[in-house]
A and B are shown apart, each in its own frame.
Chain A
Amino acid sequence: MDALLDDWVGRIRETAARGGKLAIRGGGSKAFYGGSESGEPFAVGDYQGIVAYEPTELVVTARAGTRLADLAATLAEKGQWLPFEPPLFGPQATVGGMLACGLSGPRRQAMGAVRDFVLGVRLLDGRGELLSFGGQVMKNVAGYDVPRLLAGSLGTLGVILEVSLKVLPRPVAECSLRLAIDEAAALQQLNRWGGRPLPISASAWHDGVLTLRLSGAAAAVAAAQRTLAGELLDDAVAAAFWQSLREQEHAFFAGEGPLWRLGLPSVAPPQALGPTLIEWGGAQRWLRGGEAAVIREAAARAGGHATLFRGETTLKAAAGVFQPLSEPLATIHRKLKQAFDPQGIFNPGRMYPDL
């Protein structure tokens, strides 16, 4: 593995020296996400293996190319998991790609995102320096929090080599319920429930139907099930449903046409922008179709932002994948990019055109 790293360092330095560009690739499972790839392919998917796993420490450290599916299987043997339910989008999805994309699944609102669980990273920056930040302990405020900064950075700051993550025990009990309810009422209810100590671990509203998942101690799940009423889903049906959301295999996501992801305050009212699927208690809203400018405007007005999650390359280029940044923020972004990648060799344009 060390020979491999030496090789990469050489390649990064050589590329920087001649002003080349590199497109970092894990499993290639999330290549659709973000601005389109440009640069010479730089494959990191072979850098695999779980480096350390100590169940009683609630920490696992894995090389970036480790397949998420393999990691999940290892954790499952000890009754643990990554509680943010990272979407796989294919069996080849890697740990590095997971951190770089920063996507979270249905459990996000209840448990947190990748950034909430990453404890440490090793990376190669744009000068080919091998750097290590954070570590394998739960609390660490020595130096700036680079590990969390890398979450969602889409490989624009460096090549992630190794990631340490906090893991948690799987919940003892789980069940899912279904209720018929309209969008406005569902949003109202979800926020009210959010203010009570109920073990809601996921929620999804679409087309007049609200699905809730409860997770936790058996007693708590049973009590909440009585409180919330609703029709109890068969376990296999429920598992398939949540999986279809996380992997975007649900019928809502099928077909051509742009897919927008709105991150909004959970209390934002219905946006009436087109066919909608709501997750995360109202904080994540998926939208099919619609006018880019209108969607971005609405998201900003509601206090959030809109991402063109999937769309034609021409639309992505015209509308931009991510909500534009304010000028002071954009300036900080450019300078940060320069701090890590002075020659701008990694994943140019993957996040914003000028990064």
Chain B
Amino acid sequence: MESTLADRYTVDRPELVTRLRAVLPTNALLAEEEAMRPYDCDGLTAFRQLPLLVALPENEAQAQAILRICHDLRAPVVPRGAATGLSGGATPHPDGVLVSLAKLKKIIAVDPLARTAIVQPGVRNLAVSEAAAPYGLYYAPDPSSQIACTIGGNVAENAGGVHCLKYGLTVHNVLRVRGLTIAGDIVEFGNAALDAPGYDLLALLNGSEGLLAMITEVTVRLTPKPELAQVVIASFDDVRKAGDAVASIIAAGIIPAGLEMMDKKATHAVEPYVNAGYDLEAEAILLCESDGTPEEVAEEIGRMRAVIEKSGAAGIRVSQNEAERLRFWAGRKAAFPAVGRLTPDYLCMDGTIPRRRLAEMLEAINALSIKYALRCANVFHAGDGNLHPLIMYDANQPGELDRATAFGAEILELSVRFGGTITGEHGVGVEKIMLMAEQFSLAEIDTFHRLKAAFDEHGLLNPGKGVPTLARCREYTQARAGTAAASARP
């Protein structure tokens, strides 16, 4: 589908091209449809849109020049990293310049004593850990897309990973962001210390979906590698028991290094793909990791086992070596692509709910799967209550995309009703923009617009993403009220 949510802008394309050509090397500006085609979507492939132009700056100065020109001509700008985003945050704007930061991929410095790395925004997440490895350090946030996604995209989405229950999200692991405002001003958010004077704008930049500033450099915090990590893998004959086990682990005062759950559909998708060794009889499996000194891990694994056994697990295994541990995780990390092999298309939901509602939510999703006649596999960051139902559909079958979208929306509405949120880590983007009206009042949405205007007065940086206009919110709530009234009629 073409993105219909973006308000249109009147931009003088020839003028824009002339001025951009003057500041960029020839191969850094794409204007032909054929050349721009690969940039027409991000990981949310259901939304495709050709941009007006694609720019590929090679350094901060070029990025700055692009922004100044776009600001001058009032042309929208959409920042893009590796385009692994799942909410359409990097979906192009029809009247705007898509700016890919992929060429800014230098690791500027790794300081083992300070445990920090300074990297450009196009550096891949995993590349940071690889550069830090010789010093016994790593970058803790590990989204499953880590071989491809960039640090710039991670900051913009406040990405999480399978280890963020213990080690935090991106916002907890970034010390400083250097960025450009839409007007082309260079701004430093945070610094190499643990805090900075003034408002915590660094926190605000995390998860801002490219709407507040274009990120050109990031200082990340590196974490010492634990001496040992081991993972317990538990099978359950009932998802409810698995959900309860999660709550019991936390109640016992344990903060696992990772606590992930997969249902039967997910393990069946993954197993033939990566041979992780999962129990295919189980209705749900739980991966529960401990890390630290060997003594610490032995002690903690003992406590984890005891709790999981009491929760009625049908089987428990503990990884016996590093290779086996990585294999157990490989299955979890490959869950999205594995499901992708079973279906032409899928939508990945990202609601977060209080952990105690997990079992209830899973049952509701099963019911919705029947209602919409679409398959759905569940993988989630159970420790954080962050769900990733993967709704399988075929865009070539008439009506399936609409059914999948409605299915997803119902899950997210339920997430809000359970006291949670429509997105835990993938962002709002274009995908969930109207659902913002489920979660926020008009006054709150208005505050977001005011906040945005403090950075970007003319609304040029990634417009049509993240926060719906007040007019669209009103339409949405009126339409919803209409539907509710209609269904309430006898």
Binding site for B on A (CB under 8 A): 54-59, 79, 102, 108-109, 112-113, 115-116, 125, 129-133, 135-146, 148-149, 151-153, 157, 168-170, 172, 191-192, 194-198, 216-220, 222-223, 263-267, 280, 283-284, 303-305, 307, 322-326, 328-329, 332-333, 335-336, 338-340, 351-352
Shortest Cβ gap from A297 to chain B (Å)? 15
Complex contact B356–A115 (CB within 8 A) = no
Beyond the given A57-B356, A116-B171, could you list 16 further A-B residue pairs with CB under 8 A, ordered by the A residue number? A54-B356, A112-B168, A129-B443, A137-B354, A137-B424, A139-B164, A145-B207, A146-B447, A148-B171, A157-B199, A192-B113, A195-B113, A197-B292, A198-B224, A263-B194, A340-B447
Pick from A56, A131, A148: contact of B447, CB below 8 A. Answer: A131
- The verdict on B204 contacting chain A, using a C-beta distance below 8 Å, is yes
Count chain A CB atoms within 10 A of each CB in B186, B227, B253, B447 and give the residue with the most.
Answer: B447
The complex places the Cα of A130 from the Cα of B196 at a distance, in Å, of: 29
Interface residues on B, range: 35 or more
Binding site for A on B (CB under 8 A): 111-115, 135-137, 157-158, 160, 164-165, 168-169, 171-172, 181, 185-188, 191-201, 203-204, 206-208, 212, 224-227, 247-248, 250-251, 253-255, 292-293, 295-296, 298-300, 352-356, 381, 383-386, 419-428, 432, 436, 439-441, 443-444, 447-448, 450-455, 466-467
Contact A137 B296, CB 8 Å, known A56-B251, A305-B193: no
Give the nearest-CB partner of A118 in chain B. B203
Q: Which residues of A contact B381 (CB under 8 A)?
A: 139
Contact A218 B299, CB 8 Å, known A137-B385, A339-B447: yes
Shortest Cβ gap from A52 to chain B (Å)? 9
Complex contact B427–A109 (CB within 8 A) = no
Complex contact B197–A144 (CB within 8 A) = no
Report, nearest first, the 6 A-B pairs whose CB atoms are least far apart.
A219-B295, A148-B203, A335-B454, A339-B450, A169-B253, A139-B424
The complex places the Cα of A143 from the Cα of B208 at a distance, in Å, of: 8
Shortest Cβ gap from A138 to chain B (Å)? 4
Complex contact B352–A137 (CB within 8 A) = yes
Complex contact A133–B296 (CB within 8 A) = no
Q: Which residues of A contact B225 (CB under 8 A)?
A: 197
Complex contact B436–A142 (CB within 8 A) = yes
Complex contact B137–A195 (CB within 8 A) = yes
Q: How many A-B residue pairs have C-beta atoms within 8 angstroms? Tell me.
A: 255
Complex contact B224–A196 (CB within 8 A) = yes
Shortest Cβ gap from A96 to chain B (Å)? 16
Count chain B CB atoms within 10 A of each CB in A59, A129, A153, A265 and give the residue with the most.
Answer: A265
Complex contact A326–B450 (CB within 8 A) = no
Give the nearest-CB partner of A320 in chain B. B197
Shortest Cβ gap from B162 to chain A (Å)? 12
Pick from B193, B254, B386, B451: contact of A139, CB below 8 A. Answer: B386
Give the nearest-CB partner of A109 in chain B. B194
Q: Which residues of A contact B113 (CB under 8 A)?
A: 191-192, 195, 267
Shortest Cβ gap from B166 to chain A (Å)? 10
Give the nearest-CB partner of A351 in chain B. B198
Complex contact A141–B158 (CB within 8 A) = yes
Complex contact B247–A338 (CB within 8 A) = no
Complex contact A197–B194 (CB within 8 A) = no
Q: Which residues of B contact A142 (CB under 8 A)?
A: 421-423, 428, 432, 436, 439-440
